[in-house]
Amino acid sequence: MCVMSEPSSAKLIVYSPTDDSCTERESQDHGGDSKKLRRREKNRIAAQRSRKKQTQKADQLHEEYEKLEQENTALKREIRKLGEEVKHLSEALKDHERLCPLIHCAVNFVTMPRPHPDVLASCLPRDGQSEVS
């Protein structure tokens, strides 16, 4: 058996039953061991806090990403809808321009202040007349 201790040095020889050998280990006083254990425990807790904080930040970023993706999808849908509306209104305007007597009226080509409504009325079709001459 290998349990020997040297009183003059701080070494302790310990028998290991698993591999039938003797090893030397430095012996430390109990104050140093408890201080080391407290430091390790404090570090372990700090590491847990850090990992938790990192996970929370990743979760927050993921939530923000999903929110922005939804917002982006909604904005693309709105752009598509507004584009369709522009197309529809442009077609309606083209149809109206072909038929509108005010566009073809000579009063509109003069660079003067807007004429009196009575003058504009002369450009409008009267009851019983066709809209296109």
Start-to-end CA span in the chain (Å): 125
Predicted local confidence at residue 21, as pLDDT: 54
Residue 120 to residue 117: CA distance in whole angstroms: 5
Highest mean pLDDT among 24-33, 78-87, 95-104: 78-87
List Cβ neighbours of 105 (8 Å cut-off, separation of 6 or more): 120, 123
Q: By mean pLDDT, which of 6-20, 34-48, 51-65, 114-128 is the weakest?
A: 6-20
Residue 45 to residue 33: CA distance in whole angstroms: 18
List Cβ neighbours of 46 (8 Å cut-off, separation of 6 or more): none
Residue type, 94: K
pLDDT tens digits for range 37-92: 999 999 999 999 999 999 999 999 999 999 999 999 999 999 999 999 999 999 99
Across the beta sheet with 21-26, the strand order is: 4-5, 11-16, 21-26
Beta partners for 12? 5, 25
Instruction: Report the pLDDT averaged over residues 107-130.
Output: 59
